[in-house]
Amino acid sequence: MATSDLVAVWEVSLADGQHRVEFEHGTTSGKRVIRIDGKEIYRNEWMFKLVGKEYFMVGKAKCCITIEAISGFAYEYTMDVNGKSLQKFRENQSKIMKTWVLTIAGNPIRVVLEKDTLDVWVNGDKVPTAGEFVDDGTETHFEIGAHSAYIKAISSGKRRDGLIHQLFVDDSEIPEAKE
């Protein structure tokens, strides 16, 4: 694989995990190649039009790469996710998703709470949960292998801040990840 045509790489964080999107653009042939997590999902070897848009899916997210000429033979590549710029999409994701990363028996584990649906994902798989009301909020119980886990939701006491979500695995609190 000649990586000389690799012009852009983006990281997209979804509930099912971190995804790496790579884009190749041959500025003489018009060749376009899209790879997600190293797997080629689209290839067109020859295109007369060197600018334009390519649409594709990353998990359940609709993505679009826009190729624009900025001057002479220089091009700009931008990616939209679900109709928003990647930057806006990331800001929105941080509002609707909470992510924790921990290690159990030497294995990295990524836990994601989708706040709008209350779905819990462990290493990209949606897991069964059981909700329970407790004195100061709610607990959403689930398992990570043989380990018991729950996400506690309590009021921040401030309307603007809403709920505070904390992950506990085997009764130890796990700090939130900064993705």
Residue-wise pLDDT for 128-153, tens only, equals 999 999 999 999 999 999 999 999 99
Structure tokens at 154: 């309590």
pLDDT in tens, 71-129: 877 899 999 999 999 999 988 888 889 999 999 999 999 999 999 899 999 999 999 99
Structure tokens at 5: 């045509």
> Whose CA is closest to 113, among 76, 150, 58, 154?
150
Q: How many CB atoms lie within 10 A of CB 170?
A: 11
Residue 107 CA to residue 94 CA, distance in Å, equals: 25
What residues form DSSP beta bridges with 31?
none
pLDDT of residue 2: 46
| Top-level class of domain 3-82 | mainly beta
DSSP code of residue 146: T
Same fold, 3-82 and 92-174: yes
Residue 66 CA to residue 59 CA, distance in Å, equals: 19
- Residue with structure tokens 């710029």? 85
Structure tokens at 132: 């329970």
pLDDT of residue 93: 87
Domain ranges of the chain: 3-82, 92-174
- Residue with structure tokens 């002479």? 72
pLDDT of residue 179: 63
Q: What are phi and psi of 151, to 5 degrees?
A: -110, 125
Residue 23 CA to residue 129 CA, distance in Å, equals: 37
Task: Indicate the pTM of the whole model.
Answer: 0.77
> Whose CA is closest to 165, among 98, 91, 95?
98
CATH 1.10.10.10 fits 92-174, yes or no: no
Helix (H) or strand (E) holding 10: strand 6-14
In this prediction, what percent of the chain has a pLDDT beyond 70? 98
Pairing of strands 147-155, 39-44: unpaired
